[in-house]
Amino acid sequence: MSLTLDQFLNRFVMQPPLSASKSVISGRRAAVLVPVIAGAEPGLLLTRRSSHLRKHAGQVAFPGGMQDATDDSLIHTALREAEEEVGIQPAQVNVVGVLPPVTSSTGFAVTPVVGIIPAGLSLNINPDEVESTFSMPLAEALRLSRYSGLTLRRGHRQHQVWLSWYEDYFIWGMTAGIIRALSQQIALP
């Protein structure tokens, strides 16, 4: 299956996102940038978090983090964090929309901000936060069948966790859930 950037954008803009999870009740807010790489074969930019971080060390993630008091919006939060973590300048991102917030395992309501970035962008990785970056073909990332569900129980609550492999990268949890939600929204055949 192939997917052009125009096809992705048309589907993303024309189809409203699925409704937000009812479990998003936290007052703590965060945002991630879901960077779609423009090109003949569009890609999805992902990071591998630094292995010495206290939380989520070594996990595949999108650039992002907690909303600061000085952030004008959650879009600003996502852009600021992307600049801090991988050196993507806000002016280099064409924000096309947001997905409904999801609740992280640490209790944050995380808003995914979808933005288009140029192909061949030179990144400046902050080694304190990010070990490496990689790109996954967008058509492959959005193939719904690549995600397997696992039901976990915490106390008296159950929640679904999504899992997937791409090359030697294990994509799971909130990151896999965000990609899967984007896939559901654009509804590829």
Closest CA to 33 of 74, 91, 4: 74
CA-based radius of gyration for the chain: 16
pLDDT tens digit at each of 189 positions of the chain:
688 999 899 888 877 665 544 444 457 899 999 999 998 899 999 998 877 756 655 688 899 989 999 999 999 999 999 999 999 999 999 999 999 998 876 777 899 999 999 999 999 999 888 889 999 999 999 988 888 888 777 777 777 788 788 888 889 788 999 999 898 888 765
Does an H or E element contain 159, and which?
strand 157-166
Residue 127 tokens, joined: 């080694």
Give the three-class secondary structure for 109: strand
Handedness of CA 67, 73, 132, 58 (dihedral sign): positive
Token pair 């055949």 in the structure block, residue: 189
Please give the Cα distance from 3 to 10 (Å, whole number): 11
State CA 131 to chain mean position distance: 17
Q: Is the pTM of this model over 0.85?
A: yes
Does an H or E element contain 183, and which?
helix 173-186
Give the three-class secondary structure for 169: strand
**How many Cα atoms sit within 13 Å of 75 on the Cβ side?**
11
